[in-house]
Amino acid sequence: MLSFIKSSLKYFIVGILALIPVVIVMQVLVFLETILRDFFIYIYGYSNNVFITVLAFTLSFVAIAYTGYRVTVSEKMWVLHQVELLINRIPMIRTLYRVTKKLVNLLGSQEKSAAKEIVFIEYPKDGLWVPGYVTNTVGEMLVVYVPTSPNPTSGFTVVVHQSKVVKSSMDIEAVTSFIVSVGVDLHQREELEKLGDLGHVKSIPHT
């Protein structure tokens, strides 16, 4: 009986872990569905006409998609540029907007991401390596954002000399997946082997 209970608990935990990714995806879909449904109801509450509501919803979708297209192609859009100019005139709001935009770009598309490259740094002590996003450079100094697992949006920022980092061949998507999965999703396994070899060389005493 005790063995049956232990096995049941074991399988229950395994089942929970297997369902977590599905639940997260479902929550995101439900969140998007709620936003779209509320938007649809909001328009219908004013027009009280299904045709007008569907038309307004379609036009809104086309306008947002067109905005994304223009930003992708030319990286600038006149209307957005004018809005940014207006926001930049408001002291507190412009700071919030600027920081938010940089954070979105950091984890955005790889081509336009604020993160210039991925590196490994030794933290919190020698021999322990953590991945980080290089967000800025000042001469030979690198500004590195080090995310924490499993939530890459939380972390800390360090300034380190470029000689103290090891460059990675991973892109933004790969390293983010590595962090979110707490190391389970790892494609560039040879990189960890190189870090291990580097640590071994450092540990050899010089004579």
Q: What pLDDT does residue 174 have?
A: 82
**Which residue type sits at 37?**
R
Nearest to 125 by CA among 53, 202, 185, 71: 202
Domains of the chain, each with CATH number or no CATH: 26-75 (no CATH), 79-106 (no CATH), 113-203 (2.30.30)
Cβ(172)–Cβ(109) below 8 Å: no
Q: What pLDDT does residue 116 have?
A: 67
Distance CA 199, CA 32 (A): 46
Nearest-5° angle of CA 62, CA 67, CA 70? 120
Q: Which residue has the tokens 């935990």?
A: 13
Mean pLDDT by 10 residues, the chain (207 residues): 78 77 81 82 76 83 81 70 82 76 60 67 86 88 88 84 88 82 78 69 48
Q: 63-70 contacts: CB < 8 A, separation 24 or more?
A: none
Q: What pLDDT does residue 200 have?
A: 47
CA torsion through residues 52, 58, 64, 66, sign: negative
Give me 78's structure tokens: 């006149």
Distance CA 153, CA 99 (A): 13
